[in-house]
Structure 1
Amino acid sequence: MSGGDETELEKPFAVEKAKTGRAKCKKCKSNIDKDTIRIAKLMSNPFGEGKMKAWHHVTCLFEIFAKQRATTKKIDDPQEDIDGWDQIADDDKKMILEKIEEFENNTPYKKKRPASTASDKPAKKTAKQSLSSVKPSPNVGTNISDKLNDEKKISIHRDNTFRQFRNICAEVANASSYIEKTAIIKRMLTTGYDGDNFKGDMVMWCKMLLPMANKMIYNLQSKQLVKLFARIFLQDESDMIEDLEQGDVAETIRKFFEINNAFKPNNKSLLTVHEVYLFLERLSQLTKEDEQIFHFKSIITRCTSNDLKMIIRLIKHDLRINAGPKHILEAIGPDVYRAYQLSHDLDTVLKRFTDELSKPTCSTNMSKNKTSPQNKVTISLMTPVFPMLAEACTSVEMAMKKCPNGMLSEVKYDGERVQVHKQGGVFRYFSRSLKPVLPHKVNHFKEYIPKAFPDGDDLILDSEILMIDTKTGQPLPFGTLGVHKKAEFTDANVCIIIFDCLYYNGDILLNKTMAERREILKKRMTTIPNRVVLSEVQEVNNPKDLAEMIAKVLKMGLEGLVLKDMNSMYEPGKRHWLKIKKDYLLNGAMADSADLVVLGAWYGTGNKGGLMSIFLMGCYDETIDKWVTVTKVHSGHDDATLDKLQKELDMVKIGKDPNLVPNWLKINKPMLPDFIAADPKKSPVWEITGAEFTNQGVHTADCISIRFPRVTRIRSDKNWATATSLKELKKLFQTSTESIDVSLLLKTSSSICKINKAVVKKKNSLKRKHSVDCDEENEEDNSMINTAAECNEENKQNIDGKMSKQIKMSGKNKEDYIQNTNEAKYYAFIGNDYIEYSSDGSPLNWIEGRKPKKGLPGNALPISGSSDYDPRLKGVLGGLSVVLSDNIMPERRKILSRTLITLGATVREDSSNPAGKITHVIHSKKEITERELRKWRFVGVRHVNESWIESAASLSIKPHEFPHAVNLRGSYCNCKCIHR
């Protein structure tokens, strides 16, 4: 055959499935995934004779067609034009034919082909005719892969309209409880709009309701979206940026859509859920601004302003409905959410349940909540499993209570968590958030893991990766794994530390105990020094050993410990392990903290949009006579305090403009705030507490920063001159490890047995001494209670019971427990305690263990009812308004009320107090039900256990509420309380 004949028979296009996943699309420049259909256009070879194939994603090729001239060759008949057409599957043919038909219908210059005469060659099939000739796949349902004809049939039904999707989102957002949110979604996906059967695409609805779990990535931040729509709407970008300061980009774009002159919103929504999903899918593949703008214009003409607002929220992965995967997927069935818990891979989970979900009459299946055998909830190799997590452990006693079977105490390594999947010679690595790990961190492990597990063909391992100094064997600080940081350490290797095994050669190990899984690792694993090692653990069965191990790791400068019950199973996504860090212990008494000055602020987002809610904290550097930055903090203030700060802080708006930074501030560009303090010497001082001091930040205080910072106290007693200076901060950083007072920890653990014996001995003593003077008894009891604060909860209950009995014995003692504010004539501060006195000098309130002596102190002042100044504001809990829950016993209420008054709080009766003034509700339980909570549904209220008061009393600081927050069983409340 001659060369001319070969050229004549060569087809202009080719199609196949990508073989390796390494080839890049000529248009979007991204890799074409393995086994994905790709189309090549034959082009002249610039390096020699003949033609070369320029491979494209199918979608990208048709986007190129849309911009080409009418005379440029395109695909008319796939059979004639595409090489390899007969070798691809029917589903792939259908997809390409749909693209051709869509292109033909939407191309304005496309002309109908003239009818061929009898003498012509057999007429080529149109895309529509070719589409009808392809046999349907046997498992086609109403999923995202539904064919075009099916979409046309269901698109007219209300269940498939984007308007109905928006209405359901609004209903869910307005629902007050999570049970109600789930019920709304279940009702929609079961009965549909008509109340009969749901006639939309259930899988697509689930994906749209969970944009945060869907894996579409748009790389469009709020300011980039504003930039695009300023061009689309022909609006001033600076005006839109200014409106964006309110914190909601979707609302900003909706507002300017309604007032622009370039495009007018529709009065009625014309979109379907399917159209919006396909729009978003295409948008995730576009990277150039012009392409994105063209794409947005293609849908804007069919949108109402609320349609566009919801589309922007889908792009931002936040529908603002306050519902997550649990509440959405449980509307379909508990097995769906359980399967999602294992992997957090929404696509995989929904595909696994496709057969049930895609049936229009699946309401019967949903109501029965049954799962077919093929949909068994389990883990699978090469699909990431959501990792088991750990909750904060605040004491040795808590650890012993949570792990009654003994525990494995494991060093908490300060690296990056990695889940390793090995299938034969193929490796995949997933981060804590189940995203692929950067290759430079893990690629070399494929050489060492097979050596460490010589018989391990198929594995799923839970591990931590970090840099290890090869000379000392010590781990390097967090952050050294970065590609640039890593190069700074020549005598260090990236090491993987294995601490758990989920899957081994076909055996799923989730239901084996921690001890059994650990034994498997010990038997099967060979250590590769500084490359693949087994985590360091110690079996612990008594509190003294645990306390000593905590002291040891903290002294070594390590992050802390992870504690695992010996009999515990591996439960993906559950926080059933414990983590101990120094800032968790003794209610934060061992944490690193500094008194820093507020230097700047940023606007918040979401509910805090338009408010200064993130703050730049810093200190004074006297050597250069400038202020330097230490950290940015966004937690620790409640809503009421944030509202007050908007008026109290004297700030100048600079909008992150480096040219407006004053000379007194030394700051790096990444930390440029929206606002700068007008005068740092007049700015407030706050106590900032964090996990540890670190030198890995971008701050100008000699790179010293605070990890996981939070505001723990507003230091109204300090100003800029008495706040922490840079010189003092350096000293704190250098002595951070050495200054840990582990004696407190050891004292606490060793006192448990002593307290038990003391309680019994004291009970017997009380029975014999009815005539002892009440004041002497109080002093003994105060010392007993003070010691008991360090013991476990059971001991506290014993002592409280003893105190209640003693109160009944003596009328005089009983009166001492009653706070009668009418008798208060004077007040004084003894340390941080606010004490009120009667006219004869008797103290009317105190904290157990530090009752003042009778008689007015030298600094006592008269209480004036007409004064605008309330001295209690200087107290540890000054300014707080507290209610005691009904579940607290009467005698205990008196003790807690007296303590709260001493700490400066106002104790209120719930029936006579406006809801808006209450800041905290105190409970005697660690868990309350929804029914109990109904009475306390006040906006902004924190629900805490009485241990929060004890912590404030013992440490003389306002403790963070999180470690003391009550568990809310059933559906959570609608208030903004902290809960777990």
Structure 2
Amino acid sequence: MSDDGGEEEQQETKKFFVDRAKTGRAACKKCKQKLDSGELRLAKSGFNPFGPGPMKMWHHVACLFEAFGKQRATTAKIETPDDIDGWSDLDEDDQKEILTYLPKCKDWKPTAKTSSKDKEDKSSKGKAKTEKGKTPKDKEKDKSDKSKNDSTSVSKDGHKDDTFREFRRLCAALSETDSYTGKTALVKDFFTKGTDGSNFKGDLNLWCRLLLPGAVKRVYNLQSKQLIKLFSKIFRTDQDEMLEDLEQGDVAETVRVFFEKSKHLQPAKKSNLTIQDIDKFLEELSGMTKEDEQTHHFKQMAKRCTSNDLKMIVRLVKHDLRINAGPKHILEAIHPDAYQAFQTSRDIDSVLQKAVGKGGDTKSSKTSLKISASVMTPVLPMLAEACKSVEQAMKKCPNGMYSEIKYDGERVQVHKRGNEFKYFSRSLKAVMPHKVKKFEEYIPLAFPHAKDLILDSEVLLVDVNTGKPLPFGSLGKHKQNEYKDANVCLFVFDCIYYNGEALLDKPMQERRRILEQNMNEVPNRIMFSEMEEIHSPKDLANMITKVLKLGLEGLVLKDLMSIYEPGKRHWLKVKKDYLFGGAMADSADLVVLGAWFGTGQKGGMMSVFLMGCFDPNRKVWCTVTKVHTGHDDKTLERLQDELDMVKISKEASKVPDWLICTKTMIPDFVARDPKAMPVWEITGAEFTKHEVHTAAGISIRFPRVTKIRDDKTWETATSLPELKELFKTSKENQDFTLPSYGDDDTDNKQSDAVSSTSSSPRKQSPKKNAKVTAADTGAKKLNTQKKKTDLFDDDSDDDTDIEEECTAKIMKTDEASGSGSPYKISCTPDTTPKRKTQSDNDDDICDDYNCDQSTDIECSPIKRRKPDQQFNSNYIIKKPLLDIFTGVKLVLPNCDPQDRRLLERFFVAYGGEVLKTSQMQESTHVIHLEDSAVNEFISDWPRSARHVMARWLWDSIKLQELQNASKYTVTLPARSF
């Protein structure tokens, strides 16, 4: 007690104090500048007029010692560190900084920071050691060394293989290598040979964790702008200047540049860091939440870093090393099965433990690393690829399939072990508690006999009165308050672990049986996902039509015998924007109103664009969506110069009066004049509602740029009233009729599985026609445009007149040219065109057309089929258009933009390729929309190209057969050969 009292008395007599600024509100008494939060500061005590005890007058360290030089010799000043209260609490680097101002104390050795426990031991026991003469710190070090020796690596303390410089070197080599195999080979070579070329002596586990910061995440809660704020204080540089440089898109590069420019803190000349140092730094940083703590932590590390060291540390904090290499590249370099094992367990430590032997050598590639699912460790979810047709689904699921409702909610993986629960999102992050907290009450009721399990499921809000799911995005905490008669419900669709048994390798049918046998539904809380077992194309088509008419997102299709493969896209998903070649997707012609800077490779460029529409009632522009996909690199570069933008840097005060924009949608740039900006066709999965947009809340989900509408201006683009009509039409009057599938024999089922894309354009959603009306005419009604664009309704009887007119034009052209026509077309309905030889060059001509010279019949216009294969109604009716049109290269000369758009969309859906007019020499077919077009450019087209009237294409699509194709097929004579 007496010792403690003496120490307290000694502390009270000290006139100087040291610590780090807490809030950044105090100012230096000498220079009057603010003492930034986390900055080292010194104080001298003075009279306190407000109460007992001295007042601390804080200074910058340099400012206080400068004041000592101007004061009288008799005035107290700092002579030794013993004069400073708080000296023992300083880090070694801070002590060194103050000692530079005390030349008389040059031999004074800095002391390590003393913890409260050490102080207690010192006051009660002095510097007592353990039985073996070691301090507690020594004992802890021995424990750490032992754990290192027990690890799978053979890391030697201080070995070059574990230097951070080598880590940077490998990352640089990976970033410069483009090929997948090349990246894996680089990593494998280093992990095999190390830096000395003999063998790797580093910590393999730690190397993998640092090379995969995105796969094995620590949470730092430090975004780019927050990092800029911290480093602007550390470097004492202008924060606005750093933010301006950040517009280039790489915060790590910005930190490096300003680190080199800083006069307050200079980079180290040589890197002496190890990956162990970096791992310790990151682990400590992940536990810090206060800004001053983070600032101090970064500053201490920066003192030991070169500029490139600090740049790479920031990239580790951002979970992006910019090496374009993921778990597959890194883990397959260790063992061929390591990546697949990691996909299953997401536990890199257990994977490396199995992949690496006790001596540190990787196991033979023949040794299997089979790792099964384990409770409380997330499993990478199995995914689905886009399915564009019924035929594709039947081919991918030959054993039959489960057709499940694709709920528009959030994917959740549920883990239960006893009374402990964990919930993981699709990205394997913890799910927000307010979305899943009530499930702990109901899962035991739904699974009364389950001790431990893993469920794959979807969570969404449902209406308790109707049982129907509520719209996408309604799960937000503040949103749930808007739906009083709604519950959060878990729709379970798979079970991948149950009572000690992993079910990954069991077929889907068996997993579903186990789920149904062990789960009891809790209404509106824990429910089975709705599904049907499908074996025929007809049943699948009916199911697709049913769910889309109900307004659901779509279907997920799973082969009955498929196993659960983590991370693989072996399921299928059917959505309305996948069908009919994307013709059913919602779209609108919107004007570019603003833009944001991109990140990564697109840093410093406008690559994210704000799209909107004009409100004629208020005479203002409203925002609809932001879009960042759809432009190739060349187009994006060209747009940087073409778009006339004004930089406002997301400042609300600079948003022009003509733009109605919420705070979250304020861009980096706005258009100087919206009426002079281009119009782009924006296509997405569906129209949706989102409060952040001002066009009556209407937005587009999953938007992409599908076309730059050079033919349109702001006046003919989609306006707000037209957008509202499109939204209404999209939600209320959708026609999802798919092709009808007959009940044929079993032998013919596969051939009858016609592509769902073969439905006629008339079967597309009416919203598409409404959209064209709104964009092109503005004032006309929706049904007016439908009549115009319905190219499939042309069932008139004037086919013969068109046929005779086409033939007459061909013969007239032939006579005018004076050349002998190699073909004379005889157009008779339901018959094949006749060919009569009129040239000495018939052999060459027939070779070009791949004809059978022994017959007098011309080849089929599609795929140049020989006579015995063409126009056989029994064959053609059964043949899907996807097979007929695959490989056809089409040119559309002189087409009306509206008609061309329809033709392009549907022809590509059938497997063809639409070429530009400049590519005509590569074409196999030329489609003419007007009869007069057949006279143009005859000599320019390749003689192998078939010239076809558009009506033949429409009827072929409509009828799913080619018996009438000859009526509309025209082969033009070439002028010379």
Give CA-to-partner distance per residue, 1:800-851, whole Å, 9 cap, x none.
Answer: 79x9xxxxxxxxxxxxx999xxxx9x9676943899999xxxx999885945
Distance 2:269 2:404 in 1: 62
> Residue 564 of structure 1: which of 558, 568, 572 is its match?
558
Aligned pairs (5 A) from 1:35-184:
69=86, 106-107=112-113, 123-125=128-130, 128-130=134-136, 140=146, 142=148, 154-155=157-158, 157-184=159-186
Match of 2:620 in 1: 626
Distance 2:621 2:876 in 1: 41
Q: Which amino acid is the alignment partner of residue 349 of structure 2?
A: L
> Residue 391 of structure 1: which of 385, 389, 397 is its match?
385
Q: Is the 8 A contact 1:785 1:849 kept in 2?
A: no
> Residue 649 of structure 2: which of 652, 655, 658 is its match?
655
Distance 1:646 1:336 in 2: 44
SS at match of 1:719: coil
Q: How far 1:522 sits from its partner (Å)?
A: 1.8
| CA 138–270 in structure 1, closer or farther in 2 if over 3 Å, else same | closer
Give CA-to-partner distance per residue, 1:446-472, whole Å, 9 cap, x none.
Answer: 221111122222111111111111111
| CA 208–473 in structure 1, closer or farther in 2 if over 3 Å, else same | same
Match of 1:678 in 2: 672
Q: Is the 8 A contact 1:601 1:675 kept in 2?
A: yes
Q: Is structure 2 residue 375 aligned with structure 1 residue 381?
A: yes
Match of 2:327 in 1: 325
Q: Which amino acid is the alignment partner of residue 241 of structure 1?
A: L
> Residue 280 of structure 1: which of 276, 282, 287 is its match?
282
Match of 1:408 in 2: 402
Q: Which amino acid is the alignment partner of residue 230 of structure 1?
A: S
Q: Is structure 2 residue 261 aligned with structure 1 residue 259?
A: yes
> Residue 243 of structure 1: which of 242, 245, 248 is its match?
245
| CA 299–780 in structure 1, closer or farther in 2 if over 3 Å, else same | closer
Aligned pairs (5 A) from 1:508-527:
508-527=502-521
Distance 2:676 2:873 in 1: 42
SS at match of 2:373: coil
Match of 1:362 in 2: 360
Match of 1:63 in 2: none
| CA 786–207 in structure 1, closer or farther in 2 if over 3 Å, else same | farther
Aligned pairs (5 A) from 1:15-34:
none
Q: How far 1:250 sits from its partner (Å)?
A: 1.0
Match of 1:719 in 2: 713
Q: Which amino acid is the alignment partner of residue 113 of structure 2?
A: T
Match of 2:55 in 1: none
Match of 1:535 in 2: 529
| CA 784–271 in structure 1, closer or farther in 2 if over 3 Å, else same | farther
Distance 1:791 1:323 in 2: 49
Q: Is structure 2 residue 455 aligned with structure 1 residue 461?
A: yes
Match of 1:771 in 2: 856
Match of 1:83 in 2: none
Distance 1:548 1:398 in 2: 16
Q: Is the 8 A contact 2:684 2:701 kept in 1?
A: yes
Give CA-to-partner distance per residue, 1:80-129, whole Å, 9 cap, x none.
Answer: xxxxxxxxxxxxxxxxxxxxxxx99633999x99xx9xxx9994459954
**TM-score (norm. length: structure 1):** 0.68
| CA 127–491 in structure 1, closer or farther in 2 if over 3 Å, else same | farther
**The structure with more radius of gyration:** 2
Q: Which amino acid is the alignment partner of residue 160 of structure 2?
A: R
> Residue 614 of structure 1: which of 608, 614, 617 is its match?
608
Aligned pairs (5 A) from 1:167-246:
167-246=169-248
| CA 862–674 in structure 1, closer or farther in 2 if over 3 Å, else same | farther
| CA 307–793 in structure 1, closer or farther in 2 if over 3 Å, else same | farther
Q: How far 1:568 sits from its partner (Å)?
A: 0.4
Q: Is the 8 A contact 1:142 1:358 kept in 2?
A: no
Distance 1:553 1:818 in 2: 35
Give CA-to-partner distance per residue, 1:318-351, whole Å, 9 cap, x none.
Answer: 111110011111111133322210133xxx3314
Distance 1:216 1:754 in 2: 53
Q: How far 1:763 sits from its partner (Å)?
A: 11
Q: How far 1:954 sits from its partner (Å)?
A: 9.1
Q: Is the 8 A contact 2:89 2:113 kept in 1?
A: no
SS at match of 1:334: coil
| CA 454–235 in structure 1, closer or farther in 2 if over 3 Å, else same | same
The root-mean-square deviation of aligned C-alpha atoms, in Å, is 4.8
Distance 1:785 1:137 in 2: 84
Q: Which amino acid is the alignment partner of residue 518 of structure 2?
A: R
Q: Is structure 2 residue 636 aligned with structure 1 residue 642?
A: yes
SS at match of 2:650: coil
Distance 2:633 2:127 in 1: 76
Q: Which amino acid is the alignment partner of residue 229 of structure 1?
A: F
Distance 2:420 2:280 in 1: 33
Distance 1:239 1:325 in 2: 36
SS at match of 2:715: coil
Q: How far 1:204 sits from its partner (Å)?
A: 0.8
Q: Is the 8 A contact 1:555 1:737 kept in 2?
A: no
| CA 756–301 in structure 1, closer or farther in 2 if over 3 Å, else same | closer
| CA 283–863 in structure 1, closer or farther in 2 if over 3 Å, else same | farther
Q: How far 1:277 sits from its partner (Å)?
A: 1.3
Distance 2:496 2:586 in 1: 36
Give unmatched runs, 5+ long, in structure 2.
6-21, 23-83, 92-108, 759-829, 835-850, 904-913, 959-977
Q: Is structure 2 residue 736 aligned with structure 1 residue 730?
A: no
Distance 2:698 2:298 in 1: 45
Give unmatched runs, 5+ long, in structure 1.
9-26, 28-66, 75-102, 804-816, 865-871, 873-889, 903-949, 956-980
Q: How far 1:487 sits from its partner (Å)?
A: 0.9
Distance 1:332 1:837 in 2: 52
SS at match of 1:593: strand
Distance 2:417 2:860 in 1: 74
SS at match of 1:529: coil
Q: How far 1:748 sits from its partner (Å)?
A: 12
Q: Is the 8 A contact 1:630 1:699 kept in 2?
A: yes
Q: Is the 8 A contact 1:396 1:749 kept in 2?
A: no
SS at match of 1:735: helix
Distance 1:790 1:713 in 2: 35
Distance 2:209 2:730 in 1: 47
Distance 2:230 2:878 in 1: 59
Q: How far 1:743 sits from its partner (Å)?
A: 3.0
SS at match of 2:167: helix
Distance 1:606 1:846 in 2: 39
Q: How far 1:432 sits from its partner (Å)?
A: 0.9
Q: How far 1:767 sits from its partner (Å)?
A: 8.9
| CA 855–433 in structure 1, closer or farther in 2 if over 3 Å, else same | closer
Q: Which amino acid is the alignment partner of residue 720 of structure 1?
A: W
| CA 283–315 in structure 1, closer or farther in 2 if over 3 Å, else same | same
| CA 856–440 in structure 1, closer or farther in 2 if over 3 Å, else same | closer
Give CA-to-partner distance per residue, 1:366-423, whole Å, 9 cap, x none.
Answer: 455535xxx7411111111111111111111111111111111001001111111111
Q: How far 1:130 sits from its partner (Å)?
A: 3.8
Q: Is the 8 A contact 1:755 1:788 kept in 2?
A: no
Distance 2:645 2:874 in 1: 47
SS at match of 1:264: coil
Q: Is the 8 A contact 1:602 1:674 kept in 2?
A: yes
Give CA-to-partner distance per residue, 1:922-959, whole Å, 9 cap, x none.
Answer: xxxxxxxxxxxxxxxxxxxxxxxxxxxx99x999xxxx
SS at match of 2:725: helix
Q: How far 1:648 sits from its partner (Å)?
A: 0.8
Q: Is the 8 A contact 1:600 1:615 kept in 2?
A: yes
Distance 1:384 1:513 in 2: 20
Distance 1:788 1:616 in 2: 53
SS at match of 1:216: coil
